[in-house]
Amino acid sequence: MPLRRLRAGLRRPPGIPGPLAVGLSALLAAMLLALGVAPGLGRLQGAAPQPVPIRALMPAPLADAVAGPVARFNAKNPGVRLEVIRGPLDTEAISDLAISSLLLGEAPFDLLLVDVSWLAKYVAAGWFTPLDGWFGPEVLAAMEPGARLGNSIGDHLWRMPLTGDTGLLYWRTDLMDRPPRDTDELVAISRDLQRRGKVPWGYLWQGRQYEGLSCVMVEVLQAFGARWWDGASGATALDSPEAVAAASWLDGLLRHGVSPASVAGFTENDALQMFAAGEAAFLRNWPYAWREIEKADGPIRGKVGVTTVVAAPGRQAGGTLGTWGLSLIRGSPHPEEAVTAIRWLTGETVQRQLALEQGYAPTWSRLYDDPELQRQAPLLVVQRAALQHPEPRPLTAAYAQLSDLLTRQVNGMLTGQEAPAAAMASAQRQSLQVLRSMVGTPAAAGTGP
């Protein structure tokens, strides 16, 4: 019987022979002694004070991009030890991770690299310390207009921007002489190229049900003169005729075959891979995509132009503001040292390097004026132009909900579950419902930070 054997085994005396047991206990005692004594010995010998640890949580690509500057910072500041925690790649995943630790009270990091779309929510939750004490109003004045947006809420500065990225339009220099000037031209050129068999597809963008689709929507709404968020009334305006026209245009791209149906499942990378394989004339993406295309030895290397996004004829175009910046976590035990790290990481030296090596758009106007950098980073001119009229996402603490709602409806439209007018009307109705229930009264919905 197994059970009886088990019991017998338990009753058997432990099989460690005497001498070995003595040796083991001696070793254990020595280890414990060493653990207790070692720190004291260090103090006796007058070892240098431990550097102040500062931890920053960043999405993996940016964490890798700043690895060099972080090492230089630590070499220059022996009193501080800056450590970057490599978070997940996906923007939403890293926000979920940060929120999980912030909700528990003591976050294991002092700095958080914050996407522009999170700021209102985090500030409303009371998780950040304002930076006004360290950075005066003149700091933002030295930046490009678009880079100044989305850092201040109320009268306080909550975030120092590290990148000035906006949505951009990529086009094929081997297929056309100049980029399209408006949405009509974009479609016309696409269809002409498709008809002549030059490319299977015209325009690639991000249509999966996720935050990237909201970025696309911000641009398309702006391109047709619609507004997602009316800051004055604190409400959404998604059922306006202009907004429906914007949604219809996007829907038409799929229905008329300018964009493949698979766009409805595309993230940035899916769209980039297909464009880099030479299968389309246009791509909507962030600045990093240009370096990716030029680095890879693909069929369209050296045949790609970059320009600002386009609007409907007679409308003002604006690329979605997608900037990242550093915020100071409330309750960080070492705010002074943390701000030193912010100063260095968001400073001109590091931004210059990020622009050269990764293609991230700088925020400082002085960098855009630098002829040397202009020569080495050809995207700079376009990035600066895009930063003159960028489109921020709704600056409200309820943004995550509104964005989730809109992408759900629009993705439903793209996958043929709903017509554009119905999808937008539904998004509008649900948005107002959410705003009402979060604060109680509709009038108070806009008084969030």
Partner 1 sequence: MKLSGAKALLMLPALLLLVAVFLYPLLRYGWLSGHASSVLTGLRPVPNGGANWQRLIEDVRFWKDAGQTLRFAFCSVALELAGGLGVALLLHQPLRGRGTLRALTLLPWALPTTVMALGWRWILNDPHGPLNAALRSLGAPSYGFLTTPATTWFFAVLADVWKTMPFVALLLLAGLQSIPADLEETLRLEGASRIQILRRLTLPLLVPYLSLALLFRLAQALGVFDLIQVLTGGGPGGSTESLSLYAYLNAMRFLDFGYAATVMLATFLLLAVLLGVGWLLLRRARIARTTGGPA
Q: Which residues bind partner 1 (CB under 8 A)?
A: 92, 95-96, 99-100, 121, 124-126, 208-210, 260-262, 264-265, 270, 273-274, 397-398, 400-401, 404, 408-409, 411-415, 417-418, 430, 433, 437-440, 448
The residue ranges of DSSP E strands in 287-382, in sequence order, are 304-308, 324-329
Taking the complex as a whole, how short is the minimal distance between the CB of residue 400 and partner 1, in angstroms? 5
DSSP 102-151: HHTSS-S-SEEEEETTTHHHHHHTT-EE--TTTS-HHHHHTB-HHHHTTS
Among 321, 328, 323, 431, residue whose Cα is nearest residue 122: 328
Structure tokens at 70: 């972080």
3-state secondary structure of 449: coil
C-alpha pair distances (Å), 132 with each of 125, 161, 324, 339:
19, 14, 18, 11
Taking the complex as a whole, how short is the minimal distance between the CB of residue 263 and partner 1, in angstroms? 8
Taking the complex as a whole, how short is the minimal distance between the CB of residue 38 and partner 1, in angstroms? 39
Close Cβ partners of 98 (under 8 Å, ≥ 6 residues apart): 57, 87, 107, 109, 112
Nearer to partner 1, 353 or 401 (CB): 401
Nearer to partner 1, 272 or 379 (CB): 272
CA 127 to chain centre: 19
Nearer to partner 1, 117 or 351 (CB): 117
Taking the complex as a whole, how short is the minimal distance between the CB of residue 47 and partner 1, in angstroms? 43
Among 443, 400, 79, residue whose Cα is nearest residue 210: 400
Taking the complex as a whole, how short is the minimal distance between the CB of residue 156 and partner 1, in angstroms? 15
Nearer to partner 1, 100 or 376 (CB): 100
Nearer to partner 1, 82 or 258 (CB): 258
Rounded to 5 degrees, what are φ and ψ at 347? -75, 175
Taking the complex as a whole, how short is the minimal distance between the CB of residue 416 and partner 1, in angstroms? 8
Rounded to 5 degrees, what are φ and ψ at 236? -90, 160
Nearer to partner 1, 159 or 352 (CB): 159
Rounded to 5 degrees, what are φ and ψ at 80? -125, 145
Nearer to partner 1, 183 or 236 (CB): 236
Taking the complex as a whole, how short is the minimal distance between the CB of residue 228 and partner 1, in angstroms? 17
Query: Per DSSP, what are the bridge partners of residue 87?
Result: 59
Nearer to partner 1, 99 or 199 (CB): 99
Taking the complex as a whole, how short is the minimal distance between the CB of residue 243 and partner 1, in angstroms? 18
* Angle between helical axes of 420-439 and 399-414 (0-180°, round to 10): 160
